[in-house]
Amino acid sequence: MNHPPSSFDEMLAADGSVRAAYAGYSEWYEQQDAAVLRRKGQEAESVFRRIGITFNVYGDNAGEERLIPFDMVPRIVAAQEWRRLSRGIEQRVRAINAFLHDIYHRQEIVRSGRVPERLIASNAAFLPQMVGLVPPGGVYTHIVGIDLVRTGPDEFMVLEDNARTPSGVSYMLENRETMMAMFPELFTRLNVRPVQDYPRRLAKSLAAAAPACAGERPVVAVLTPGIYNSAYFEHAFLADQMGAELVEGSDLRVIDGRVAMRTTRGYQPIDVLYRRVDDEFLDPLSFNPTSVLGVPGIMDVYRAGGITIANAPGTGIADDKAIYSFMPEIVEFYTGEKPLLSNVPTWRCSEADSLAYVLDNLADLVVKEVHGSGGYGMLIGPTSSKKEIESFAAKLRAKPDNYIAQPTLALSTVPILSKAGLTPRHVDLRPFVLVSPKGIEITPGGLTRVALKQGSLVVNSSQGGGTKDSWVLED
């Protein structure tokens, strides 16, 4: 079996000394009783179970609800590293918004030959209904999650862009609340930047993107597909924390050219709808006619400037992994600068030479579906059997356009608390970015997902991963 190259340990240097960002934490940890820490870990688990921080599983165990494992050792990022990261994230998010505006208008990037037309024209996530439409305030992606991996002391790479409906922010907030409740002394000892004000800042950012017809205090609502959705906990949590209404499609209707929600005092117009429903189900008159999750006629109201939909319909094309492979060109085209954050090297299987290379090297590569998410529909060559590789090769030959491939990265490690003490496990990071006409805000930290199985590189909760609190230190 092939193994990825050795990983960068975020806590310990090669000589075993503790890196500066972890010095304060390490000192505190050495003074703790291992049995007490383990008991606190069990306490945290029962808190998560009690408040219902679970997710639904799809696939073989569909419908099963699982607890997302939480690990108590924080992932710590130094102030200087975060500043550098933030500049790269902001540059990328600006480029994504500019790209979305362009492909729904003049398509200059296609005319310039930088991005092939077929990637836009034949893409299921491209919505002809958005052509020529400018969202209120010119913002397409109000909330973005950029998935990052670290491969060295100064090397952070973007693994994926989540521009449609990024999830996971409730775990970031609950992880922090749990850590502050269990270890208050750590927060007085270390200068950790706060994340708890995210819901307030989200509400403010959404209100700032309200349409011209909104009053002094724009009305914001969260649209959920309902209690059977895997992220329902998060929808309810964010609505509650923002002081916004949580609504389903059946609570909404179009009245006098506005989208209005049912209340005890009759129907009240909504200015901003933070939707957690996919494009396809948003409006049965414009998209899937059988949908009962959306609002008939909402797209007409949107086109007339009567409501802000966050994120805008049609933003999913920026999540596409074939488009991802062009992000370095996209960033340079719209910002005039070289990307500050690198992409992971990517082979586009739609190109004959790349496909040949990928088929010859499947045992060493990670192959993903261009529209896939959540760790489903992918092959991790180094951990797959010969039989799995052969059957995946057949899929690739049948539908090469459907896949991209990447090298198996040596993701950095952060320790988890195991029976043996601190043991390293692979992690990624999803910072959350808010975009409004007033600017871009990046929450200091984000969601760290951790592969709890030794040697595993798959951090998705659906595939057995857990989460950690992410700490960004003040200077």
Distance CA(266)–CA(260), nearest Å, equals 9
pLDDT recorded at residue 52: 62
pLDDT higher than 90, residue 212: yes
Q: For residue 318, what is the DSSP state?
A: G
DSSP 165-176: ----HHHHHHHH
Q: Which of 36, 73, 40 is nearest to 417 (CA)?
A: 73
pLDDT higher than 90, residue 61: no
Distance CA(274)–CA(69), nearest Å, equals 28
Q: Which of 313, 337, 309, 274 is nearest to 90 (CA)?
A: 337
Residue 177 sits at the vertex; the CA angle it makes with 83 and 456, to the nearest 5 degrees, is: 70
Average pLDDT over residues 367-394: 83
DSSP 111-175: HTTSS-HHHHHT-TT--GGGTT---GGG-S-SEEEEEEEEEETTEEEEEEEE-S----HHHHHHH
Average pLDDT over residues 135-144: 97
Q: Which of 68, 79, 64, 20 is nearest to 44 (CA)?
A: 68
pLDDT higher than 50, residue 170: yes
pLDDT higher than 80, residue 235: yes
Residue 436 sits at the vertex; the CA angle it makes with 326 and 271, to the nearest 5 degrees, is: 120
pLDDT higher than 90, residue 462: no
pLDDT recorded at residue 372: 64
CATH of domain 350-408: 3.30.1490.270
Q: Which residue has the higher pLDDT, 333 or 167?
A: 333
Q: What is the pLDDT of residues 3-54, one digit of tens each?
A: 445 789 999 999 999 999 999 999 999 999 988 888 888 888 887 777 666 5
- SS3 call for 371: coil
What are the tokens at 285?
Answer: 């008159």
pLDDT higher than 90, residue 75: yes
Q: Which long-range contacts (CB under 8 A, 24 or more apart) does 105-113 make?
A: 105/131, 105/132, 108/333, 109/329, 109/330, 109/333, 109/334, 112/333
- SS3 call for 374: coil
Q: Which residue has the higher pLDDT, 417 or 88?
A: 88
pLDDT higher than 70, residue 223: yes
pLDDT recorded at residue 35: 87
pLDDT higher than 80, residue 376: no
In this structure, the number of other CB atoms found within 10 A of the CB of residue 344 comes to 17
The torsion defined by the Cα of 403, 406, 409 and 411, in degrees rounded to 10, comes to -40
What are the tokens at 407?
Answer: 């090298």
- CB-based contacts of 90, cutoff 8 Å, min separation 6: 433, 440, 442
What are the tokens at 392?
Answer: 């995946």
Distance CA(112)–CA(120), nearest Å, equals 14
Residue written as token pair 């930088």 = 114
- Counting Cβ atoms within 10 Å, is residue 110 exposed (0-12), middle (13-18) or buried (19+)? middle
* For the chain, domain boundaries: 1-117+140-195+334-344+413-475, 350-408
Mean residue pLDDT of the chain comes to: 91
Relative orientation angle of helices 79-103 and 327-335, to the nearest 10 degrees = 80
In this structure, the number of other CB atoms found within 10 A of the CB of residue 329 comes to 16
Q: Which of 144, 430, 446 is nearest to 312 (CA)?
A: 144
pLDDT recorded at residue 461: 67
- SS3 call for 386: helix
Distance CA(239)–CA(223), nearest Å, equals 9
pLDDT higher than 50, residue 468: yes
- CB-based contacts of 190, cutoff 8 Å, min separation 6: 24, 25, 471, 473
Cβ–Cβ < 8 Å for 384, 126: no
pLDDT recorded at residue 27: 96
Rank 32-46, 69-83, 377-391 by mean pLDDT and report only the highest.
69-83
- CB-based contacts of 377, cutoff 8 Å, min separation 6: 368, 369
pLDDT higher than 80, residue 374: no
Q: What is the pLDDT of residues 84-107, one digit of tens each?
A: 999 999 999 999 999 999 999 999
